[in-house]
Amino acid sequence: VPELIEVEIYRQQALAVVGRRIAELDAADGWYLKGGLTASTLETDLVGGLVAGARRIGKLLLLDVEPCADEVTGVDGRRSGLRTGLTVGLRFGMTGRLVVDGEAAIEQLLYTTSRHNRVHERFAATFEDGTSLVMVDPRRLGGVELEPDTDRLGPDAAAISDREFSEALRGSAVAVKARLLDQRRVAGVGNLIADEVLWRAGVRPTRTSGSLEPDDVVELAGVLRATIRTLQQRGGSHMGDLQAERHVEGRCPRDGARLQRCEVGGRTTYWCRVHQR
């Protein structure tokens, strides 16, 4: 469920640890480490390093870690193995949350428990000053990676240009919703944002993206960016106008028509037959 909007909230929360030096890393759950990464590599490479930035591309949170200038005087006199800057990628899957300094920015995500069970802590960084950044993930669908390959991600949906968006949709026989969900094309859109955007734009989710006129594509790009801004202000991807009607009896908030429910791009989709064309 964490979509771009939730991960952006996590990023803003993670800004608090920028400037802190990593004293300890706890990645006891080896399964949570991706791309051949091991707990000992992570520790060797990052302990002693300084968090220099928190970035986001789509649903991927990136923490930049730099070597410390005064590393000789580091934690317990220990030198960092870090020689050049490294980037840690955090993926939140369906149920991942970020807890910084013991506080979760998002207490309750849909489909997950808000209870912070220590058993569900998959990755934790403790800083020199005793503060911490912890990833909690009950279903373990997220993961931690070193130097993640960001080339495979499309432009971030919050800032995608009209041209980039047209590029992402052009000439495709794939359903427009499936294209929106394809992170290689547009990064950050999940199921709820996709349905909300298409509902707002009046576009049928099953329509092939190649069948949209250039003007429609530009309009859809504008609706996408505007919807993300609105949901960001409201505080979550589940804060859309369509959300309350995502059930069998649901009706279109715009015209009152009974909503259609189907699978598109492998995800449960709600849409209105009357105004989405």
Contacts to Zn ion by CB under 5 A: 252, 254-255, 272, 274-275
Least gap, CB of 274 to Zn ion (angstroms): 4
Lay out the sheet containing 121-127: strands in order across.
22-26, 121-127, 132-136, 97-100, 103-104
Q: Which one, 63 or 198, has the nearer CB to Zn ion?
A: 198
CB of 256 to Zn ion, least distance (A): 8
The H or E element spanning position 247 is: none
Q: How many CA atoms lie within 13 A of 35 on its CB side?
A: 14
Nearest to Zn ion of 207, 275 (CB atom) = 275
CA distance to 62, 94, 203, 241, per residue, from 270 (Å):
32, 20, 12, 12
Shortest spacing between CB 250 and Zn ion, in angstroms: 11
Residue at 88: amino acid letter: V
Residues 6+ positions from 211 with CB-CB distance below 8 Å:
none
Return the structure tokens found at 211.
Answer: 């069948």
> What are the two backbone dihedrals, phi and then psi, of residue 123, each rounded to the nearest 5 degrees?
-155, 130
Residue 87 vs 260, nearer CB to Zn ion? 260
Nearer to Zn ion, 79 or 275 (CB): 275
What's the closest the beta carbon of residue 255 comes to Zn ion, in angstroms? 4
Tell me how far, at minimum, the Cβ of 120 lies from Zn ion, in Å: 39
- In 3D space, the residue among 199, 222, 221 whose CA is nearest the CA of residue 269 turns out to be 199
Give the count of beta carbons closer than 10 Å to the beta carbon of residue 84: 6
Q: How far is the CB of 220 from Zn ion (least distance, A)?
A: 17
Q: How far is the CB of 275 from Zn ion (least distance, A)?
A: 4
Q: Which is nearer to Zn ion, 122 or 200 (CB)?
A: 200
Nearer to Zn ion, 116 or 254 (CB): 254
Find, among 11, 14, 21, the residue nearest to 130 by Cα.
21
Question: Using CA atoms, how far apart are residues 55 and 197, in angstroms rounded to an integer?
Answer: 24
**Least distance in Å: CB of 175 to Zn ion?**
19
User: In this complex, which beta carbon is closest to Zn ion, that of residue 28 or of residue 262?
Assistant: 262
User: For residues 89 and 87, what is the distance between their CA atoms, to the nearest angstrom?
Assistant: 6
Give whichever of 98 and 203 is closer to Zn ion, judged by the CB atom. 203
Burial 110-131 (b: 16+ CB within 10 A, else e): eebeeeeeeebbbbbbbbeeee
